[in-house]
Amino acid sequence: MLYSRRVMTEAIAVALLGVRAKIAAAAAQAGRDPATVTLVAVAKTFGADAVESALAAGQRVFGENRVQEAQAKYPALKQRVPDLELHLIGPLQTNKARDAVELFDVIQTVDRPKLARELAKAIAATGRRPRLFVQVNIGDEPQKAGVAPGEVAALLAECAQLGLAVEGLMCIPPADLPPAPFFARLAELARAHGLAGLSMGMSGDYAEAVAHGATHVRVGSAIFGKR
């Protein structure tokens, strides 16, 4: 048990070094300061021990796709490590909006007016103000979460009216197509709306996302292993 814990901690530390190096190389090649790219370590399905290992290696920003899983994993860790920053990167049901506002520092998946309204209510009720990204269904895929590219402007207007400051856009490109054109499209949308944040890129394509201007890359399996 102790042995396997040490092996896991070392494996995660080595993987993090590799991912950070690749981000730095991609940023340098694009003429960007690597410090402008935040690595969000996606720990979904892995236990708090994996998060502890990443914390020991200096990682502070984590992503989770389920509110309930995060509620089980992070409250104690957050108490002990006050600068741990937790991002929600999975779909959010309106009835979990308040729980999400209470736990997460960043909610990346605002994708519809009803959710924006529930978040505004929860923010007013709790006094907590997580940073927000709007998730865009950049490939206009029928089953996928995210607001359609053509409806981004209306959703941003609704958020502004509710007093919600949106920091950027987030996307998951279609799985079966080269991601670069979708990264470029998301970057263009963000630019058009004067938004600085761009959350795009996962284990398979984060270097490419950095080349296209990603400010946040969401990397899971390349750090923690296969799920």
Residue (98 or 218) nearer to ligand PLP, CB: 218
Q: Minimum distance from CB of 140 to ligand PLP (Å)?
A: 17
Q: Minimum distance from CB of 152 to ligand PLP (Å)?
A: 18
Residue (9 or 199) nearer to ligand PLP, CB: 199
CB 85 within 8 A of CB 62: yes
Element (H, E) at 219: strand 216-219
User: Which residue lies nearest ligand PLP, judged by its C-beta?
Assistant: 220
Q: Minimum distance from CB of 175 to ligand PLP (Å)?
A: 10
Q: Minimum distance from CB of 156 to ligand PLP (Å)?
A: 20
CB 165 within 8 A of CB 116: no
CB 56 within 8 A of CB 9: yes
Q: Minimum distance from CB of 124 to ligand PLP (Å)?
A: 27
- Bridge partners (DSSP) of residue 106 are 87, 131
Residue (16 or 120) nearer to ligand PLP, CB: 16
Q: Minimum distance from CB of 46 to ligand PLP (Å)?
A: 10
Residue (162 or 221) nearer to ligand PLP, CB: 221
| Residues with Cβ within 8 Å of residue 167, at least 6 apart in sequence | 106, 131, 132, 133, 195, 196, 197
Residue (123 or 219) nearer to ligand PLP, CB: 219
CB 209 within 8 A of CB 23: no
CA distances to 3, 69, 124 from 7, rounded to whole Å, are 6, 24, 45
Residue (16 or 172) nearer to ligand PLP, CB: 172
Beta-sheet strands, E only, within 92-204: 106-110, 131-136, 166-171, 197-199
Residues lying near ligand PLP in the complex (CB under 6 A): 42, 44, 65, 89-90, 172, 202-203, 218-222
